[in-house]
Structure 1
Amino acid sequence: MGDVAMTVPVLRAFTQQYPDVKLTVLTRAFFRPLFRDLNNVTVFHADLKGEHKGLLGLYKLSRELRRENCDAIADLHNVLRTKILKFLIYAREIASIDKGRKSKKDLVKGKKFEQLKTTSQRYADVFETLGFPLDLSKPSFPKPVTLHAEILEIIRGSNKKRIGIAPFAAHDGKKYPLDLMAQVIKELSKNYQVLLFGGGENEIAILNDFESETDGIINLAGKLQFSEELDVISNLDVMLSMDSGNAHLAAMLGVKVVTIWGVTHPFAGFAPFNQPDDYALVADRKQYPKIPTSIYGNKYPDDYKHAAGGVSVEAVVEKIKVVLS
């Protein structure tokens, strides 16, 4: 989801700088709401677990896509499935993302510790290859969505500033220790409204425990449709997230995003779009010199599992307060 969300600011820039060009976005149906406010963009969803599953399904999908009469293909994913589709569709012009695998490998191995090209810029480079250079330096974002009565009832309305907190990530090495996160949430709830985001039974149970601790904490996990979650996120004053999808959802909507990093690092190019460098709170590399241990956080030494805990509760709370001020 994070990768898809990172395409949105790039596509918004494209639609503004090339308003006469139609874009057709191929993605999963679940992600359709991400593109809802983009002009001149059509979403074509792939049913990869149903009619478009496997090679025969991809062939069927390619035939359906050919009816769109696309003049060019911008492959922002560049995996086996998209490579097969590119072969089957026969578009006149095709450009694919350069994921910078060698430079990322060097970063993980410690050969070079330096900022790599951002994923957003890599997406933009694909369009430039097709003859559409993009300027991402002055992005615009949609206005916050007016929340309907049912959502306002859930979040109980408040004149306090709203902080979204998404404490989970795909891999344990990317998560802030839950006991420390509980302290962060409790401290912030004294002066702000805290809205919690997550998904799945286990995460919902944990967030329910956080919610029960004190007033001013509301768990939204499992209570809203995805499009409604986006509506709420658009109304946040700041999002606190791990190196995970929620950070990119907030960033694509123009919300300020503070991130906590464990075994991964912003230098790999996956920091949320258009956020100041100091909004990323990173683990201490003197204590954990092998960071980043991997690009996606799925590989790390056993004693690095709680590396994100090297960022103190006080540092997180103070950063949030500074951003909100």
Structure 2
Amino acid sequence: MANNNPVHILVIRLSAMGDVAMTVPVILGICKKYPSVKITVLTKTFMGPIFSDIPNVSVFNADVKGKHKGILGLWKLYKELANLQIHMVADLHHVLRSSILKKFFKLRAIPFIQIDKGRDEKKKLIDPKRVKLEPLKSTFKRYSEVFEKLGYTISVNEMVVLSKKSLPKDFVHLKDNQEQLLVGIAPFAAFKGKMYPLNLMKEVVNELNNTNKYKIILFGGGQQEVEILSTWDNQFNNVFSAAGKLSFSAELSLISNLRLMLAMDSGNAHLAAMFGVPTVTLWGVTHPYAGFSPFGQSKDNALLADRVQYPLIPTSIYGNKFPAGYENVMSTIQPTKVVQKIIEVINNNV
């Protein structure tokens, strides 16, 4: 059992933006339930704004490609972290880098609990010879188990989402009203196996645009994505691209004001969900059963590729692997079905 004495917990979660965003409901819930707890999140510099509004939480930047690279760099990182008077460590990443840090923290007998990622279970989930397809433990549950082993229990019902923020100055004119609600669309993903075909997504945008009931905000990053979304911005009168126009912090503020986010099995879905924004997700060769569904969303908000036509789905946990003939699985999700689901979810939450 946790006591009332101030305790400083180091939380390790590097890697992908979506994985980092998924820590928010858990960490925010811990801070609410145990107000004397102080948390430092070890993550990449870019991720800092994700935690900026959580009380008693600070971010320590891991420069894993610079001064914290390699064994000597990790030793330097450990020494810097030790100076923060860490009492215990919640490793929500559990990779080689964090396992090396674990050995260093053991020198001071500091409790260090690592997440059970369920690697064997996930291998069985994507095994084409599997007998049954059954849901695995959610990532939120896996995160909470780490804190529980440190003495800080947190149930899914005790997890909390972030509050809505003020609209960025350049987007104040897009504040929604009863005539036009703010809808976000993030059409890109890190891997082809998770990305809805752009020609079909453009049909979704067109149908929503033609209703004149929504102001559609497009999200993306990188020069190519910015250019594609810019052309859509110019083509449709109710469409506005935010790609390449905002800092990450301002982009989060904009996302928090959405009435709905449409995204892939990707980081943007988790960024929206951490603000409690209703989120519709599209799934290709990955599957919600792997435990990466956005926080607090109905399972009905996930639109899946046709497993009758493509029975080997899921073929990958991360969307980076799929067998020959599975390149176009997401084409089985019809644009009209996506639009219908968006309208249904919005109407149920207005």
SS of the aligned residue for 1:137 comes to: helix
Q: Is the Cα contact below 8 Å between 1:106 and 1:112 reproduced in 2? A: no
| Counterpart pick for 2:163 among 126, 143, 148 | 143
Q: How does 1:1-325 map to 2 (within 5 A)?
A: 1-90=17-106, 91-109=109-127, 110-152=130-172, 156-159=174-177, 160-190=180-210, 191-325=213-347
Q: How many angstroms does 1:212 deviate by?
A: 2.0
Note closer, same or farther for the CA distance 1:162–1:94 as it changes in structure 2 (3 Å cut): same
- Residue 71 (structure 1) shift: 1.3
Question: Which stretch has the larger CA shift, 3-12 or 88-97?
Answer: 88-97
TM-aligned CA distance change 1:39 to 1:175, over 3 Å: same
- Residue 308 (structure 1) shift: 1.2
Please give the secondary structure, in 1, of the residue aligned with 2:152. Answer: coil
Comparing 133-142 with 218-227, greater Cα deviation is found at 133-142
SS in 2 for 1:162: strand
TM-score, scaled to structure 2: 0.90
- Residue type at the aligned position of 1:231: S
Percent identity between the two aligned chains: 51
1:188 match: secondary structure: helix
- For residues 243 and 41 of structure 1, the distance between their equivalents in structure 2, rounded to whole angstroms, comes to 27
1:140 and 1:295 map into 2 onto residues whose CA distance is 26
Task: Compute the displacement of 1:138 (Å).
Answer: 4.5
Q: Shift of residue 141 of structure 1?
A: 2.5
- Equivalents in 2 of 1:148, 1:214: separation in Å? 22
Q: CA RMSD in A?
A: 1.2
SS at match of 1:73: strand
Structure 2's unaligned 5+ residue stretches are 1-16
Return the alpha-carbon distance in structure 2 between the equivalents of residues 129 and 139 of structure 1: 17
User: Could you tell me how far 1:86 is from its partner in structure 2?
Assistant: 1.2
Aligned counterpart, 2:3: none
Letter in 2 for 1:184: V
**1:323, 1:247 → 2: CA distance?**
15
Between the aligned partners of 1:252 and 1:280, the Cα distance in structure 2 is 17
Corresponding residue SS for 2:23: helix
**TM-superposed deviation, 1:217:** 0.5
Q: Once structures 1 and 2 are overlaid, which stretch shifts more, 53-62 or 237-246?
A: 53-62
For residues 192 and 321 of structure 2, the distance between their equivalents in structure 1, rounded to whole angstroms, comes to 10
C-alpha displacement of 1:32: 0.5
Q: 2:167–2:175: 8 Å Cα contact kept in structure 1?
A: no
Aligned length: 323
Give unmatched runs, 5+ long, in structure 1: none
| Whole-angstrom CA distance in 1 between matches of 2:313 and 2:175 | 41
CA contact (8 A) 1:65 1:89 kept: no
